[in-house]
Amino acid sequence: MNQQHQDERTRIREAMNRLLSGQATASNGSLTVVALAAEAGVHRMALLKRHVDLKNEFYERVRTETQQIPETEKRLRETVTKLKKTIAEQRTEIQELRDLVTRLTLASAVLTQGKAASAEPASDNVIPFPRSTT
């Protein structure tokens, strides 16, 4: 591990401590990776790519030390809730459409059967097709 990498890790850990104690100096103080990166003076992609362990440690500390759920997790939970609701609504709609198809198929069969039973044309200018025997 080179010195620059080690310096980044040290800055990130110090920023973590400042954010968790509520003494942010370079960020808005929110408990997010973006605020952590701003507080540490590193690009957020450094946290997401090179220092994933520190990002995970930060969120774990947020969860245990502040008894809060991280913002990203809150947003994901809200999205999951919305998606579950959407899935339930779509399942209901699909069932209603299946029921409609069944009813329309039965209605079509009844109408077709009724027309086949009456051999006389419904109008003077309508001639029924002969039934195929194949």
- DSSP annotation string for 62-121: HHHHH----HHHHHHHHHHHHHHHHHHHHHHHHHHHHHHHHHHHHHHHHHHHHHHH--S-
Q: Let me know if residue 116 belongs to a domain.
A: no
Query: Structural domain tally of the chain?
Result: 2
Structure tokens at 106: 């039965």
Q: Let me know if residue 126 belongs to a domain.
A: no
118: confidence class by pLDDT, cuts 50, 70, 90: low
* Residues 38 and 51 grouped into a single domain: yes
Domain housing 46: 3-68
Burial of 11 (0-12, 13-18, 19+ CB in 10 A): middle
Q: Is the pTM of this model over 0.75?
A: no
pLDDT of residue 102: 93
Give the model confidence (pLDDT) of 79-107 as tens digits: 999 999 999 999 999 999 999 999 999 98
Give the model confidence (pLDDT) of 15-59 as tens digits: 999 988 888 888 888 888 899 999 999 988 888 888 999 999 988
